[in-house]
Amino acid sequence: MAENKRRNPKQGRARATVDAILEASLQILETEGEARLTTNHIAEKAGVSIGTLYQYFSDRNDILAELGQRQAETMRNEIAGIVAAAPEQGAIRAIIRTLMQTGETSPTTRALVTDALFRTRGEGVLGTHHLAFMDSVSGQTDLTASLSTEAAFILTHAPISLLRAAAAEPELGLDSDRLEDELVRLMESYLAALSAR
């Protein structure tokens, strides 16, 4: 695999250009579908030249992966906020709902950008986000302070892995409300078992 030579946008104008490219990509995905997501169409919709697009992104998959990265960061920050607030009731449901509905995008788009993130940056990306999440909530609640590395792994990886599987198996016709209920039941049961030790 060739090394990615894209520029890293450090100045405000460069960051604005990257943001415009990513926003245009999301708009195309949401309104026109994946088939219309070409680099030429993205550049046109973003109001940049195709050369400018290629200064920052090597191809369409690179754009999708960056959208997936931003989605994952948004999700991580939202969940860290839920954990920091430590509400007495509904924290698990709020976390599961965040995992299922992060962003203003459709489930199809969320699945597409998540797949691109894993495909482009490797399966280790989940571990990277796990460590960043654990660092961000470290010491904020009694729960995170008492979790073993293995228990923390189960709590972060199980729902994400199950949701990835659900997105990959649309033929199962899973009802999103029922799936949410079952994931909440799974996580609450696991936490109850940890507390009972």
Domain-wise residue ranges, the chain: 12-58, 67-195
Q: Kindly report the average pLDDT of the chain as a whole number.
A: 85
pLDDT by residue (tens digit) across 77-111?
888 888 878 655 568 898 899 888 866 678 788 88
> Helix, strand, coil shares of the chain as percentages rounded to 5?
75, 0, 25
pLDDT of residue 72: 87
Of 24-28, 48-52, 85-89, the one with minimum mean pLDDT is 85-89
Cβ atoms < 10 Å from Cβ of 166 = 17
What is the fold, at CATH topology level, of the domain defined by 12-58? Answer: Arc Repressor Mutant, subunit A (1.10.10)
Q: What is the pTM of this model?
A: 0.79
- What integer is the mean pLDDT of 67-82? 88
Q: How far apart are CA 136 and CA 25, in angstroms?
A: 29
